[in-house]
Structure 1
């Protein structure tokens, strides 16, 4: 019984950490996309000057 609960606990930890890592990656990706978009919008203006 102890071994079984330890296995499920480990699986739960892995799933939780994976989900958390995915959320962090998605949020980081959104922030990078925003920065990239703002740079793309600024670039043509700099070239016009």
Structure 2
């Protein structure tokens, strides 16, 4: 999906990092967010970090 978006001019992605790791359920926790950010940066994307305080 990101390849298609990149092809059509999208250059930013939004990443979410949960304040409470239990709510993250392994998906939006710190280690996963860092891994995704690094991977997508190598593909030429910049990112916005969303940090909900719930």
TM norm structure 2: 0.31
Structure richer in strand, relative to its length: 2
Structure richer in helix, relative to its length: 1
Specify which structure has the bigger relative contact order, considering alpha-carbon pairs within 8 angstroms and separated by 6 or more residues.
2
